[in-house]
Structure 1
């Protein structure tokens, strides 16, 4: 089928109601006879990167009151600028030159600890240089460390935007949903999650470019930063099974495992107890306040054994969560094999990661960053994405006021639980919308956007014929897609 006359990419102000309304501020939607694809400088990539820079600048402005470590008067809560980097700078001895894992037990996977160490080394170099060079501004060590950390995280955020644009096919402006994200504004500098998000996004981009080994290396490094990218590898397995493309998946899985081993094995040998801190903490920690389990145990204290005593593991909760997550993974795999048309990679990845966060005993607020690029690629519609992200921002604000304490002009636990409940409902609705589009591919905006589009992020899966399905009468993907695009 030949491409339609007109622009060689999807124009948001022609297709998205929110983009149409927002365009009125700059003269209205893009003209029918306007030329696209010939900008000398302001390409979609550069504009989306500029959006990201602007949002990161606002994020830094929000975080600036907490940068120097002077948190008297609960400034970290009243200014909504709490972050993990500042307190952990002293707790893990980074201020004294200690090396994570070798000198202190860090509660994060190895590559995250490596980023913490990199920021500490660069910050110490700056402090030494500033002490000998007059024009450079002086700063207390923790402030130098936090500024360097934020700069590194900013670079990673730009990589996320670039990766999403590369995965969006003929919809490059979808990357603006990442650059202008409220979640990025709120949580870019809360923790080090952008490292895993960037590696995962780039790994998916490498898969889309049909480089399975490179994809595996990047995803393996992502697993060494946060464990959640392993779910993307699992999603690729289900989709490759349906398409009969297990050889590329095997190359990705093996290279991911090797990359993880290269990063983790040396520290597992040199400092086994400190290296294992992340895994032991994951087993022994109770439900964190933002999870559904903590809410249930607050209102029903004996639920699943209640909150464990100091040093005890919540075995009943751990077992319940494990069973639910296994069942959820099985359900997502069934959906991958039973859907009328093979789901797109971001759709299935979003569903599995979202279900993991909703059912897991830990749902830290900044984990919303894990979902951001997946949600944008799974369902690139401004309205639903902004509504979900608004609830994530609300949870952060209410959480800070809840931690401030009702006796200190903060909020009671009921308001905190209400905000978490609204966030969970919004995420469940977004999950339901994605499931609906998987089950009814004609409603999938990405596939409707351009004739012949299957999965821009699919790599070897893009346009592949199904080999293994759970449908009674499986039809070739190409035939199904042809009927879909003709009806669109």
Structure 2
């Protein structure tokens, strides 16, 4: 079966993943844009066409051309706020001088499409096999989330950081991960792994390793600070809204802590939920690192994927589009196909369960219950645990361990890194 797939991907040609991604991106636009700029009867929930771009157009000053943080509220980190601001003029061009929220949604889609192509280009340049390229180009999460939010900016920086780490360019990888943290925080989870690799380098003295790790700390602070400090110094209240909002929000419907509270399994207030989520993540991440170090100690950045998966599982907020954080990393580092398929199933189930839950609250149909949300979250959670177990236990995929990554944009013959079980 795998040989047949390999032969078909070879016949399609080297450029076929780009065309496949174009099809997926257009499907993502159609999925979100069919509701237009004005939602009626809860259609944004019943059909799944909800997008954060629509409320942001009017409520965050994009329509008025206001600058985020300085003139308008913004509950995202600085680079994402800058991206949102930059997409405003694109929407005005698309709207021929009379733009609306649908034009802004299209502008958001254009931005995310560019990042999706950037990720594919980075994969091809790194020598990732064709099957993995198609796993990205035809990814269902791209259809669901390409015009939903602004997550692919940070995801692109995270992928670029991982691939730089694979080449041994730890300073560049650190800077890219820190910049990713200025877009969405999750790329920062890569930084401790880069630091550990610097500390435990083979063939160098302890003093040299410590100095290398200190250099990476300085690079990370400098890269993150260069983006954040000018805004924080002049518009601190609006700049800090993201961090305050993250602490104050209770959670999302499909997160472990919200489900535990809803069903009375382990009711918690928000401060307790913050503490428990942090403790659970820290303990689990340490366990992943200890269990995976023997196999992946020479390339600990490979453990970024299971650490991020554990973060999503233990965090109090698991917005549906957060699955797009994890998917490109799974495409790069996964060793088994079945948990990935289960994850995709859980992603789709959780997406519609959450939005149909909101539809039911508005008296619309189809609707869902918290039991439906819990079932979908359980499917996705089992997949995440399976992914973590496989990532710690299995050797890294063949393309990662090649000593000389190809620089050409033309990919090599497909590797065989994803067994069925």
Judge same fold: TM > 0.5, yes or no: yes
Question: 1:99-119: CA deviations, max 9, x gaps?
Answer: 111112211111111110000
Say which of 421, 428, 448 aligns to 2:378. Answer: 421
Q: Do residues 104 (structure 1) and 69 (structure 2) align? A: no
Structure with more contact order per residue of length (Cα contacts < 8 Å, sep ≥ 6):
2
- 1:322-401 residue pairs with structure 2 within 5 A? 322-337=278-293, 339-340=294-295, 342=297, 344-345=299-300, 347-401=302-356
Distance verdict in 2 for CA 1:211–1:453, change over 3 Å: closer
Alignment counterpart, residue 272 of structure 2, candidates 305, 310, 316: 316
Mapping of 1:7-406 within 5 angstroms?
13-14=2-3, 20=4, 23=5, 30=7, 42-43=13-14, 46-66=15-35, 68-127=36-95, 130-131=96-97, 140-167=99-126, 169=127, 171-244=129-202, 246=209, 250-300=214-264, 303-305=267-269, 314-337=270-293, 339-340=294-295, 342=297, 344-345=299-300, 347-405=302-360
Question: Could you tell me how far apart the structure 1 residues matched to 2:109 and 2:376 are?
Answer: 28
Deviation for aligned residue 1:280: 0.7
Residues 1:58 and 1:382: Cα distance change in structure 2 (over 3 Å): farther
C-alpha RMSD of matched pairs (Å): 2.7
Distance 1:235 1:298 in 2: 35
- Which has the greater radius of gyration? 1
Structure 1 residue runs of 5 or longer lacking an equivalent are 1-11, 15-19, 24-28, 132-138, 306-313, 458-488
SS of alignment partner, residue 94 of structure 1 = coil
Change in CA separation of 1:232 and 1:295 when aligned onto 2, cut-off 3 Å = same
Matched-pair contact (CA < 8 Å) for 1:80–1:397: yes
Q: Name the SS for the 1:400 alignment partner.
A: helix
C-alpha displacement of 1:233:
1.4
Contact map agreement 2:57 2:63 (CA 8 A) in 1? yes
Ranges in structure 2 where 5+ consecutive residues have no aligned partner: 407-421
Structure-2 change in CA distance of 1:341 and 1:320 (3 Å): closer
**Contact 2:254/2:318 (8 A) holds in 1:** yes
- Pairwise CA distance, 1:402: 1.1
Secondary structure (helix, strand or coil) at the match of 2:92 reads helix
Q: What number of residue pairs does the alignment pair up?
A: 398
Structure 2 length-normalised TM: 0.86
Change in 2 beyond 3 A, CA 1:178/1:395? same
